[in-house]
Amino acid sequence: MAEKVIAGFTVNVTEEGYLTDKTQWNKEIAAEIAQELGIEELTNAHWNVIDFLQKDYAETGKLPTIRRMKKEGGISTKDLYDLFPEGPLVKAAKIAGLSKPASCV
């Protein structure tokens, strides 16, 4: 496990930069990770996705699939790809301070 300074906070991360301790996450860290991933600003729509991911993870203990996000979260697949291009679940999970999705090797 490595440490990385993100937005002035020292956090524990995996080799790929995913936080290993979700209690270290905050909105400043999320904003900096988003910028690293090419998302200049997190809008309310981004935060809705992040909030859903965190809530669903807290309730189920695992990341939701894109299908579950659409069905339970009311977030369309098109919107996910518009908000988080080129891998919406991978990027959204990383910004949300959660682990890498198991379906993404």
Catalytic residue positions, numbered? 104
Q: Where are the beta strands (DSSP E) in the chain?
A: 2-6, 9-13
Alpha-carbon gap, residue 10 to 85, rounded angstroms:
27
Alpha-carbon gap, residue 25 to 22, rounded angstroms:
5
Contact 26, 9 (CB under 8 A): yes
| Residue reference for tokens 């993870």 | 57
CB atoms inside a 10 Å sphere around CB 30: 22
Alpha-carbon gap, residue 2 to 105, rounded angstroms:
20
